[in-house]
Chain A
Amino acid sequence: MLTLKQEKKRFREFLEALSDSYELIAPVKRELVKFDAIKNINDIHFEKNSYFPVKEFFFKKREVLFTFNGNRILEPKFENKERVFFGIRKCDLNAIKHQDIVFMQGANDPYYIAERERSFLLGYHCNEAPSEYCFCGSLELEDYFDMMFYDKGDHMLVEIGSEKGMALYKKFSGFFEKSTRLIAQHEKKIPGADRLKVKDIGPLYDNPDWKKGVDICLSCGACTALCPTCYCFDIHDEVKMSNPGSGERVREWSSCQLPEFSRVAGNHVFRNEREQRFKHRIYHQLDYFKEKYGIQMCVGCGRCIEGCPTRIDFVQIINEMKEGEKR
């Protein structure tokens, strides 16, 4: 992996050059930190990770799949203008990787692929855990980026992680110096983010301690809307008033925390109990996904805890569980 060095002044100039030639999307602090297109690079927020995940730029909140008129179907045109994301943390880069597994390797979702292919992912390494809820250190995260920036005080170390990153580097090579120093594995670890002590939660399914979380769960779905990996959706038709035979088929984010999510014909709801839904999310993140794809889906960003109205810390709940205990 190619490693480069960049003085802070050159780093700023690089970002300015980027924003001149591309749409640059980076964390911005409004009421809360969120990813947004930026005009001025002074707006970029470096201290905290974004409250809202970056997934909304790839797996959109609301996506028109196609328009129809009777039996005629019109597919949408895909945007192909290139854009650059800067400031994505390690957890979110891995979240993109996990969504890539779902949408690109599994389903070949053209809408997702179009958004992914026009994007450069430039990461920003956390020198320390940006939130008290972080637990990425407990999960197996990998390098998954086009470029990664490591803040070393007066300079940046930059890793190139893909061909796309290499192409971007070649275009802006004047802003970088070659570096002989490689980034060691221990430098890639984020201190203070090793909270989850249990590696396999499979045997804990019947543990009575889940109730601690279930009792303070509102089933509001805020956790899944803020999760960078959750990919469940709902599809419905929006017809035109002037001609109800024509309209749009729309895909929207949904949530496993809602009873209506698992409602089927005949009005049966598979996960009607709050406990079933609560556990389903955590087991899908830490267990079921691994069974299917060999990797845990959760990336340990802690947003579902930070954004929960009652701050349900499932990591702590799992840590406190005693194995073998059953209801």
Chain B
Amino acid sequence: MEKLLQVRNPDNKLKVGFYGITGCAGCLLSVIFNEDELLDLIKVVDLKAFPFVKEVNVDESFDYIFVEGLVADEDDLEVLQRLRKNSKFLVALGACSCTGCVPAYRQFTLKENYEHLLYRKREEIKDLQPTPVDDHVRADYYIPGCPPDKKEILNFLKGIAIGKEPKPYESPVCIECRKNGNQCLLDLGKPCLGPITAGGCNSVCINGGFECWGCRGPTKDMNLPLMIKMLRDRGFDDAFIEARMRTFVGLKMPIVEEFMKSKEAGGKLDTKFYGKKEYFE
């Protein structure tokens, strides 16, 4: 609370910055999609840096810094550590930043599966194991999703502008989904992860008939053994289930990790399934 009061100085607007490290910039686009309210935003906060849209960016002393993307090489790490040092609060923006998302999937597969896809001049890139930002620096807040809901980002900004502690959305997707009048996709035999995934996305995928892949991460209170059983009952094999649950939040699903580690001695991740070609196609 004391920290919040420090920031809430009526004479000074909050100094805010948006940065991207390794990622697709989709989350930054999500910020810009609030185009109708973006001009109002700069009345409330001081948008000091947003290299994606601004030409002049001042890279020092932020109140809030929003980081999109994950750490995949040494440059990323350097940028991230500098940003952390220059800001009071660091907000992990998007699934890459919060949980590793698709780029971190590289950790679950064998090198020979992807090596041929890499840039030819690979030696120029000093790559690191792809990891979310909080593996390296402290993250104060998380805005999950691939990409996050544009309204959610705006609500976060509104919240900090009036000195309100941002609250994560922890309820599963299902309740929003039923409110939106959708048919349960699990009833149609689709491998929907809605029951164990934190909502806040207004069940956008299911509204369009596409099952939930769990991009916003698991709920704190998920019933994972039951979810796995439900998917098995619907005829999905373990390899598929693990791959699906790992796609967006693999690094932050400790139970899946245990589930997988138990398969192979030595605590190594089970990679034999991920090598199968059909799961990449």
User: Within residues 63 to 82 of chain A, which ones have a CB less than 8 A from any CB in chain B?
Assistant: none
Interface residues as binary, B212-254 with A (CB distance below 8 Å gives 1, 0 otherwise): 0000000111110011001000000000000000000000000
Q: State whether A222 touches B174 (Cβ < 8 A).
A: yes
Does B158 contact A241, Cβ atoms closer than 8 Å?
yes
Once bound together, how far apart are the Cα atoms of A202 and B138, in whole Å? 49
Q: A242-B43, A259-B170 are in contact. Are A52 and B181 (CB under 8 A)?
A: yes
Looking at the complex, which one of B43, B172, B183, B230 makes contact with A31 (CB distance below 8 Å)? B183
Contact with B along A132-156 (1 / 0, CB 8 A): 0000000000000000000000000
**Interface contact B41-A310, CB-CB below 8 Å:** no
A255 within 8 A of B: yes
Known: A241-B37, A241-B41. A218 touches B170 (CB 8 A): no
B40 at interface, CB cutoff 8 A = yes
The 8 A CB mask of A305-319 against B (1 = contact, 0 = none) is 001011000000000
User: Contacts A218-B196, A260-B171, A307-B184 known; A242 to B178 CB distance under 8 Å?
Assistant: no
Give A146 to B183 CA distance when docked, in angstroms: 31
0 or 1 for each of B97-119: is its CB under 8 Å from A? (1 = yes): 00000000000000000000000
CB distance from B171 to the nearest CB of A (A): 5
- A255 touching B196, Cβ below 8 Å: no
| CB atoms of A220 and B175 under 8 A apart | yes
Alpha-carbon gap, A314 to B40, bound state (A) = 51
Q: How far is the CA of A255 from the CA of B179 in the complex (A)?
A: 11
Quick one: which of A218, A222, A226, A253 contacts B223, CB cutoff 8 A?
Answer: A218
Q: Is the CB of B170 within 8 A of A309?
A: no
A-chain residues with CB within 8 Å of residue B44 when the two chains form the complex: 241, 244
Whether A218 lies near B195 (C-beta < 8 A) is yes
- Residues of chain A lying within 8 A (CB to CB) of residue B186: 309
Contact A274 B171 (CB under 8 A): no
* Distance A42 CA – B40 CA, assembled complex (angstroms): 49
- CB–CB A218/B41 < 8 A: no
Contact A239 B178 (CB under 8 A): no
Minimum CB–CB distance for B43 against chain A, Å: 7
Interface size on A, residues (CB 8 A): 33
Task: Answer yes or no: B161 CB below 8 A from chain A CBs.
Answer: yes
Q: Is B20 an interface residue (CB 8 A)?
A: no
**A260 CA / B220 CA spacing, docked (Å):** 11
A302 to B155, CA, bound (A): 37
A258 and B170 contact, CB distance less than 8 A: yes
A57 to B276, CA, bound (A): 50
Given known contacts A219-B223, A222-B184, A255-B171, is B162 in contact with A244 (CB within 8 Å)?
yes
User: Are B226 and A244 interface neighbours, CB within 8 A?
Assistant: no
A224 to B178, CA, bound (A): 10
Task: Assess A217 versus B175: contact at CB under 8 Å? Given A259-B170, A310-B230.
Answer: no
- Beyond A220-B194, A239-B158, A258-B171, is A225–B179 a contact (Cβ under 8 Å)? yes
CB closest chain-A residue, reference B42: A241
Choose one: B37, B41, B183; the contact of A32 (CB below 8 Å). B183
Question: What residues of B have a CB within 8 angstroms of the CB of A222 in the complex?
Answer: 174-175, 177-178, 184
Residues of B with C-beta under 8 A to A244? 44, 158, 161-162
Q: Report if A61 contacts B (CB, 8 A).
A: yes
| Structural contact, A309 and B161, CB atoms closer than 8 A | no
Assembly CA distance A221 to B177 (angstroms): 10
Contact pick for A241, options B40, B174, B223, CB 8 Å: B40
Q: A309's contact among B171, B174, B181, B221, by CB below 8 Å, is which? A: B174
A48 sits at the interface (CB 8 A): no
- How distant is the Cα of A55 from the Cα of B41 in the complex, in angstroms? 37
**Complexed CA–CA distance, A268 and B141 (Å):** 20
- Tell me which residues from 181 to 240 in chain A have a Cβ below 8 Å from any Cβ of chain B: 215-222, 224-226, 238-240
**Set A52, A238, A255, A274: member contacting B175, Cβ < 8 A:** A255
Compute how far the CA of A307 lies from the CA of B177 in the bound complex, rounded to whole angstroms: 12
Q: For A261, give the chain B residue with the smallest CB separation.
A: B171
Contacts of A239 in B (CB 8 A): 158, 162
Residue A281 at the B interface, CB < 8 A?
A: no
A 291-310 binary contact with B (CB < 8 Å = 1; else 0): 00000000000000001011
Q: Does A45 touch B at the CB level, under 8 Å? A: no
Residue of B nearest to A225 (CB): B178
Question: Which B residues lie within 8 Å of A220 (CB)?
Answer: 172, 174-175, 194-195
C-alpha spacing A252/B141, complex, angstroms: 24
What 1/0 mask marks residues of chain B from 160 to 188 whose CB sits below 8 Å from any chain A CB?
A: 01100000001110110111010110110
Q: A242-B37, A244-B161 are in contact. Are A221 and B221 (CB under 8 A)?
A: no
The interface residues of chain B lying within 8 Å CB-to-CB of A52 are 178, 181
Report which residue of B41, B162, B172, B196 has the largest number of chain A beta carbons within 10 angstroms of its beta carbon: B172
A-B CB contact pairs (8 Å), 28 listed: A52-B178, A52-B181, A217-B223, A218-B196, A219-B172, A219-B219, A219-B221, A220-B172, A221-B171, A222-B177, A224-B175, A225-B175, A225-B178, A241-B44, A242-B37, A242-B43, A244-B44, A245-B162, A258-B172, A260-B170, A274-B221, A274-B223, A307-B178, A307-B184, A309-B186, A309-B187, A309-B195, A310-B226
Assuming A32-B183, A52-B181, what are 15 further A-B pairs, CB within 8 angstroms?
A32-B181, A217-B223, A218-B195, A218-B196, A219-B172, A220-B174, A221-B178, A222-B184, A238-B155, A239-B162, A242-B37, A242-B40, A253-B179, A259-B220, A309-B195
**Chain B residues with a Cβ under 8 A of chain A:** 37, 40-41, 43-44, 154-155, 157-158, 161-162, 170-172, 174-175, 177-179, 181, 183-184, 186-187, 194-196, 219-223, 226-227, 230
